Amino acid sequence: MKLDACTLVLRPRTVGELLDLACRFTFSESAGSNARLGAAVLLPSFALGLAGRYLLEVDAVWLWLLAIPLANWLEAGFTLSLSRHLFGEKLSLGGALKLVLSRLWAFSLAILVKTFMFCLSGIFLIGPFVSWPSGTLVNEAVLLEGASGSASWGRSRNLVQQSNSGFGAAASIFAARVGFVLGLEALGQSLTTDLLQLGKPFGSFYDNGFTPFALLGLLLSVPFTATVRFLFYVDTRTRADGWDIQVKLMAIQAKAHSEEAFT
């Protein structure tokens, strides 16, 4: 990454600041690229989910058990696109998908390892709360640092341990997913019931555990959670490796060179 080309001021930030920045990048600065990526990967996933539920009649529990890891997996393209955008590079839709494919096996293995570690920790009462933050940066470890799928968990754990807000970031990502699911459920039910006067043609998420609105909410959360995760990664590297100090030194060095050239 070209630190001197970063369009974001590199400094340690709180989780609240990271969420605020994530809103700005997701819905404003990166809205165009997110929309293109969404059309390419989120819409087909939505169609597959509906087919699984209404054509194959897959139980809602199994559908969510597949959809939640899938949502994490779908973050890859958004992470790569934002990482290039934030550091002064432009990445086309084709370029983003090509990069995802180049790391597809390692990234898929990393998601499986992450899911397995979380399920394994569930044996103990507080296990998930301990292991859960450790896997927050598995995506970035594989996609941005080239870690293997098996080594990604350890790298993520080491990064998170150098931050004082690992649990807060993990909890924020989880809350965002739940918020999108419940928010789209409420919006969809309001549109069909109050505006279109159709009642509840798909039932209620709270009654049968699944509606197209809830699934759409999960998928629409992907660009936002990918952005939060990546910004947390940048914050962690800034704290651990002094990225903010490096940028300042580069600026001082560049200024000194320009003054020497002028004289």
Q: Roughly what angle, to the nearest 10 degrees, separates helices 15-24 and 212-241?
A: 120
What number of helices (H) and strands (E) belong to the chain?
14, 0
Query: Residue 188: its pLDDT value, please?
Result: 93
Residue 259 within a domain: no
* CB-based contacts of 106, cutoff 8 Å, min separation 6: 142, 147, 148, 149, 152
Residue 54 within a domain: yes
Residue 7 within a domain: no
CA–CA–CA angle 44, 156, 12 (5° rounding):
100
Residue 5 within a domain: no
Q: Answer whether 100's CB lies under 8 Å from 80's CB.
A: yes
**83: left (phi > 0), else alpha (psi -120 to 50), else beta?**
alpha
Range of the domain at 85: 13-249
Query: Residue 30: its pLDDT value, please?
Result: 82
Residue 171 within a domain: yes
pLDDT tens, residue order, the chain (263 aa):
555 556 667 777 888 888 998 998 898 888 888 899 999 999 999 999 999 999 998 999 999 989 988 998 899 999 998 888 877 677 788 888 888 888 888 888 888 888 777 777 666 656 566 677 788 888 888 888 888 877 888 888 888 887 777 888 888 999 999 999 999 999 999 999 888 878 888 888 988 889 999 999 999 999 999 999 999 988 888 877 665 455 444 444 444 434 444 45
Residue 155 within a domain: yes
In the chain, DSSP assigns E strands to none
Query: Residue 124: its pLDDT value, please?
Result: 63
Query: Residue 90: its pLDDT value, please?
Result: 75
What is the DSSP code string of 157-209? HHHHHT-S-HHHHHHHHHHHHHHHHHHHHHHHHHIIIIIS----TT--HHHHS
In the chain, the largest separation of any two C-alpha atoms, in whole Å, equals: 77
Number of domains composing the chain: 1
Q: Which H or E run contains 35?
A: helix 31-37
* CB-based contacts of 83, cutoff 8 Å, min separation 6: 1, 143, 144, 230
Residue 4 within a domain: no
Query: Residue 242: its pLDDT value, please?
Result: 65
Distance CA 263, CA 252 (A): 17
